[in-house]
Structure 1
């Protein structure tokens, strides 16, 4: 990977899954979420922030919130079943420090599988859910 840089603070060594429930898919919700993603991309040490997004997000949109697009890997996937599998793969691969996805409603077994993948890949998973 050519885009490796040093951050002012070391990356967190925690791994696992965090779920964030969003009230709706309004622009106000993006205004809350994007600064967090910007922070994650700006604190990369040697791995990606991988975002498995259900729709296309332009580079200009991401950069308008301060996201460093050199360190974010966007995977566009509108199929919910494929999104779950891709999320698992991204978590387990070990080349992302954070994987962001909206996999939809999960069973306890599926959530446990994603947690195990996050531990395997030594990364943090951020699951976004719209209520």
Structure 2
């Protein structure tokens, strides 16, 4: 697996794209010895958290974190990518500038991990 950061732009909230995301998350949660790490950008987004907990995931292999602001989300994502404990880190992010993209790709390289940055069309 080549460490890389991909981006996915959704037209609404993650739970509104469940037909697209559920199969991907299910596959990723059963795919490896390491964790699938999900990082939510908004602690108050209880509907997305509830949706994730009700998805067909191997919850023994999934870590879910949430943060309170964009900088905290980016830093948490960078640390999760670099740690080497996850095979994939999925973050719900806002706009991702080239500086942060470089930091996240470097962290993914260090942790031998792949990343997926999900954002809503409103901020794309």
- TM-score w.r.t. structure 2 length? 0.85
> Does the CA-based 8 Å contact 1:91-1:125 persist in structure 2?
yes
Alignment of structure 1 residues 10-89 onto 2, 5 Å? 13-25=1-13, 27-44=15-32, 46-53=33-40, 54=42, 55-56=45-46, 57-58=49-50, 61-62=51-52, 64-89=54-79
Q: For the residues of structure 1 that align with 2:93 and 2:52, how far apart are their CA atoms?
A: 21
Q: What RMSD, in angstroms, separates the aligned Cα atoms of the two structures? A: 1.6
- TM-score w.r.t. structure 1 length? 0.81
SS in 2 for 1:100: strand
Larger Rg: 1
SS in 2 for 1:66: coil
Gaps of 5+ in 1: 1-12
* Shift >4 Å, 4+ stretches: none
Note the C-alpha offset of 1:107: 1.5
Q: For the residues of structure 1 that align with 2:81 and 2:14, how far apart are their CA atoms?
A: 27
Note the C-alpha offset of 1:103: 2.3
Q: Identify the structure with bigger relative contact order (alpha carbons < 8 Å, sequence gap 6+).
A: 2
Higher helix fraction (1 or 2): 2
Q: Deviations over 1:4-60 (max 9, x none)?
A: xxxxxxxxx22110111111126431231122111100112x2100000133413xx
